[in-house]
Amino acid sequence: MTDLAIRLRGVTKRFGGHVAVRDLDLDVPRGTICGILGPNGSGKTTSIRMVLGIYVPDSGSVELLGGEPDHAHRKRVGYLPEERGMYRKMKVMDHLAFIGEIRGVRAAEGRRRAGEWLERLGLSEWGDRKVEDLSKGMQQKVQFAATVLHEPDLLILDEPFSGLDPINQDVLETIVREMNAAGVTILFSTHLMGQAERLCRRVCLISRSRKVLDGNLREIRKAEDRGDVVVEFEGDAGWLDGPGIETASPVDDGWHLTLHANTPPRTVVERALAAGVELRRFERVAPRLHEIFVRHAGADAAGDAGRPAEARLPAEASTKDSQGEAALR
Amino acid sequence: MNSAILAIIKREYLQRVRSRWFVAATLAGPVLFVGIAVLPILTTGSSEPGEIMVLDGTGELLSVVGPALEGAGYSVTTGDGEPSLEDWIQRIHDGEVFGVLQLDSATLANGDARLTVASSLSPIRTLALRQIVAQGTLASRLAAEAPETLALLGGGTLEVDVLDEEMEVDGADFLMAYLGAFLLYITLLFYAVAVMRSVLEEKTSRIVEIILSSVRPIELMLGKIVGVGAVGLTQLGVWAASVVILADIGLPRLVAARPELAPLAQFESFAPGADKLLLFLAFFFGGYFLYSSLYAAVGAMANSDQEAQQAQAPLVVLMVVPAVILPAVLESPESALAVWTSVVPFFAPVLMFARAVTGAASGLEVGVALMGIAATTVIVAWIGGRIYRVGILMTGKRPGVRELWRWVRAG
């Protein structure tokens, strides 16, 4: 048994003239939490679908849990697609039991587990109601329960947090962490850099169908650390536009500064004092994923992902459509 | 067959069978059958003819009108003697007896008669009584004046000599062929479209991506077709059973208990024999698999109900053709038109079934038609399966024919 849950080598997928994923290598070791990060339309969903064998790559190889992405291996995976569908007319409990059944969980056992999950997610009383009676947030929680009902070894979540309110995002994050602690490998895609920073041990940054960077998040941040600092001060910000400071972007109450190589951080303090502003805070920080992404892919390539941490955009429906249309042209 | 397919079949079946719609439609079938075919006779027959007193002023009509009334279910009392007319009229008031029929010279002259009853009669009943009086009077006068013409009243017989070898279709078979073929057409269309809707629903609700992460597309398609088909069989089974129970068990008992309902006995011939049920089943199976794989592909290539409506137009034409030429085929089931159209696989389910029921098609022809359907189903399911596989995850513009061909090759 290999120690990789997912192994992609040189994977390329074209839809007609459009290359959705180009020459992608990706290793996801067992037991980790790995995030695929990138703006909308950068190829995250296509990559995930190839991992699951829903799409067959035009070239390259895919290994899932040490084998082909075939039926037997897919049964060990819990997959939550970005566009989440449910049988609206089915009762919540029946729906969950059915999804479990097609993944090899006997109906009675599926119902038992579904009951536990509904209780945990605060939906105990909703088991006998029709799916369509649930609010959108509740439906999303039920979908998550359906994804994990068969106790998968690998959880693949495509934009799992989009559309959830902060409280339920926390609930979901906690569950994901717990499952990971219990040995489940987790791969999820997101365009929310902040979320990834909180949750991931490994990241894979994708931009315009290509991988930009991947590896252990802590190591990446260490390697990318060029002396970023956060400053908070009272007074005119004009002094930030000076030698040694590469970029300055506003955060919360202060500014996040990336410095040119060979610029010692204390220069910032000296310049602040020279400018006569009231310095309240000075802190050395590791670079955020956002800056790392921009550094490697360029600001315009970063697109949505380049936006400060929690920015949200509606789903990329139009991009999807044009992909589908182009599919076999 | 793996457990995932079984789960899909089970879900598809239970969701549908449990629906209010299914229960209503399944129960409505037999109720409709009773309503359309049996009820009118039942109601006209069941409003008790009752006792009738005949006051015959002519002295000759009672001997013919009396038996005719009794034949229609009345019990006849003559006016002379007990009970008295006053008593009788009182009993009419009380609703114990039906009425008094007065026949006199006017009756003999032009058929006029007088009937006294408690409340007004239905037109059908009035007509039936007038008919009895008029026929009786006619018979009586003919017997007196021209006895040699009396036989004419019986209506005579018509002997039909057929010059061609054309077979004769007996009335009951004709009716069964017609109704059976029509039922076949309706149920095939209905359940094939149900498969399409189900595919479309999974596609538009996006649940399909979740299912396909654990199940092969062809398994999902197959499970769906089998599940929906099982619903159709259940419904047909309930209908067949209720017809058989009604005709074979209910009817004889009813007729035995109430001899005046004898006309109902003709419906016994409606109960199809095992051979015809088997034919129906065979053609339902064949036609259903053929059409549902086509409709599954249509569902997979569409993105909305409207698109599906448009995309299924060619299929609707394919299905409507046999329904349109069915009357012509039944009219002369051995004509070239009938023979050739009934072996075309897409038309065979309806047309060959109809011909087989009338007895016009040989076992060989039925076999050829079924084999043709089976062979076409294999091809169609292969093509449909490939379109389904590509289409089910595809969004965007509905594909044209050339695009579809690419799907078939790529699938």
Q: Note the pLDDT tens digit of each residue in A5-20.
A: 999 999 999 887 788 8
User: Is the pLDDT score of B263 beyond 70?
Assistant: no
Q: Are A74 and B393 a contacting pair at CB < 8 A?
A: no
Mean per-residue pLDDT of chain B: 82
Residue A46 and residue A57 in contact, taking contact as beta carbons nearer than 8 Å: no
Q: Note the pLDDT tens digit of each residue in B330-365.
A: 888 888 888 888 889 999 999 999 888 888 888 888
Which pLDDT value is given to residue A328?
32
Q: Are A81 and B209 a contacting pair at CB < 8 A?
A: yes
Test mutation, A86, A102, A140, A144, chain B, max B CBs within 10 A: A102
Judging contacts by C-beta atoms under 8 Å, the chain B residues touching residue A98 are 7, 11
- List Cβ neighbours of B126 (8 Å cut-off, separation of 6 or more): none
Q: Are A325 and B4 a contacting pair at CB < 8 A?
A: no
Which pLDDT value is given to residue A326?
32
Judging contacts by C-beta atoms under 8 Å, the chain A residues touching residue B402 are none
User: Is the pLDDT score of A319 beyond 60?
Assistant: no
Which pLDDT value is given to residue A329?
29
- The CATH 3.40.190.10 portion of chain B extends over 50-149
User: Is the pLDDT score of B24 beyond 60?
Assistant: yes
Q: Are A328 and B208 a contacting pair at CB < 8 A?
A: no
Sheet holding A228-234, edge to edge: A245-251, A254-259, A228-234, A278-285
Average pLDDT over residues B162-191: 76
Average pLDDT over residues A132-160: 91
| Nearest residue on chain B to A95, alpha-carbon basis | B11
Q: Are A85 and B207 a contacting pair at CB < 8 A?
A: yes
Which pLDDT value is given to residue B132?
87
Which pLDDT value is given to residue A6?
92
Q: Higher confidence at residue B322 or residue B397?
A: B322
Contact pairs from chain A to chain B, CB under 8 Å: 78
The 3-state DSSP class for residue B130 equals: helix
Q: Where residue B36 falls among pLDDT bands split at 50, 70, 90? A: low
Helices and strands counted in chain A (H then E):
12, 13
User: Is the pLDDT score of A280 beyond 50?
Assistant: yes
Q: Are B202 and A322 a contacting pair at CB < 8 A?
A: no
List, as one string, the DSSP characters of B291-359. Answer: HHHHHHHHHHH-SSHHHHHHHTHHHHHHHHHHHHHHHHHHHSTTSHHHHHHTTSTTTHHHHHHHHHHHT
Q: Higher confidence at residue B119 or residue B18?
A: B18
CATH class for the domain made up of A4-221: alpha beta
CA distance B215 to chain A (A): 7
CA distance B316 to chain A (A): 26
Which pLDDT value is given to residue B168?
55
Nearest Cβ partner for B207 among A79, A87, A324: A87
Which pLDDT value is given to residue A327?
32
User: Is the pLDDT score of A154 beyond 70?
Assistant: yes
Judging contacts by C-beta atoms under 8 Å, the chain B residues touching residue A323 are 396
CA distance A141 to chain B (A): 15
Nearest Cβ partner for A54 among B213, B396, B407: B213
Q: Do domains A4-221 and A226-285 have the same CATH topology?
A: no
* CATH assignment, B50-149: 3.40.190.10
Q: Higher confidence at residue A31 or residue B251?
A: A31
Nearest Cβ partner for A103 among B205, B207, B214: B214
Question: Burial level of A178, CB count in 10 A (0-12/13-18/19+)?
Answer: exposed
Q: Where residue A318 falls among pLDDT bands split at 50, 70, 90? A: very low
Q: Note the pLDDT tens digit of each residue in A186-237.
A: 999 988 888 888 889 999 988 888 888 888 888 888 888 877 888 888 888 8
* CATH assignment, A226-285: 3.30.70.100
User: Is the pLDDT score of A324 beyond 50?
Assistant: no
Q: Are B214 and A75 a contacting pair at CB < 8 A?
A: yes
Task: For residues B257 and A264, give the distance between their C-alpha atoms in angstroms, rounded to a whole number.
Answer: 111
Q: Which of A176-185, A252-261, B60-69 has the highest average model confidence (pLDDT)?
A: A176-185
Residue B207 and residue A83 in contact, taking contact as beta carbons nearer than 8 Å: no
Nearest Cβ partner for B407 among A321, A323, A328: A328
Q: Are B209 and A75 a contacting pair at CB < 8 A?
A: no
Which pLDDT value is given to residue B271?
64
Test mutation, A55, A143, A187, A328, chain B, max B CBs within 10 A: A328
Nearest Cβ partner for A321 among B15, B207, B395: B395
Average pLDDT over residues B91-95: 82
Mean per-residue pLDDT of chain A: 83
Which pLDDT value is given to residue B411?
58
Hey, where are the domains in chain A?
A: 4-221, 226-285
Residue A171 and residue A161 in contact, taking contact as beta carbons nearer than 8 Å: no
Test mutation, B204, B214, B394, chain A, max A CBs within 10 A: B214
Q: Where residue A288 falls among pLDDT bands split at 50, 70, 90? A: confident
Task: For residues A147 and B142, give the distance between their C-alpha atoms in angstroms, rounded to a whole number.
Answer: 90
Q: Which residues of B touch A (CB under 8 A)?
A: 3-4, 7-8, 10-11, 15, 202, 205-216, 390, 393-397, 403, 406-407, 410
What six digits make up the tokens of A80? 């939550």
Q: Where residue B8 falls among pLDDT bands split at 50, 70, 90? A: very high
User: Is the pLDDT score of B208 beyond 50?
Assistant: yes
Average pLDDT over residues B309-317: 87
Average pLDDT over residues B207-221: 85
Sheet holding A59-64, edge to edge: A18-29, A4-15, A59-64
Q: Where residue B388 falls among pLDDT bands split at 50, 70, 90? A: confident
Average pLDDT over residues A51-71: 87
User: Is the pLDDT score of A309 beyond 50?
Assistant: no
Q: Where residue A320 falls among pLDDT bands split at 50, 70, 90? A: very low
Which pLDDT value is given to residue B160?
66
User: Is the pLDDT score of B164 beyond 70?
Assistant: no
Judging contacts by C-beta atoms under 8 Å, the chain A residues touching residue B17 are none
Nearest Cβ partner for A102 among B15, B215, B410: B215
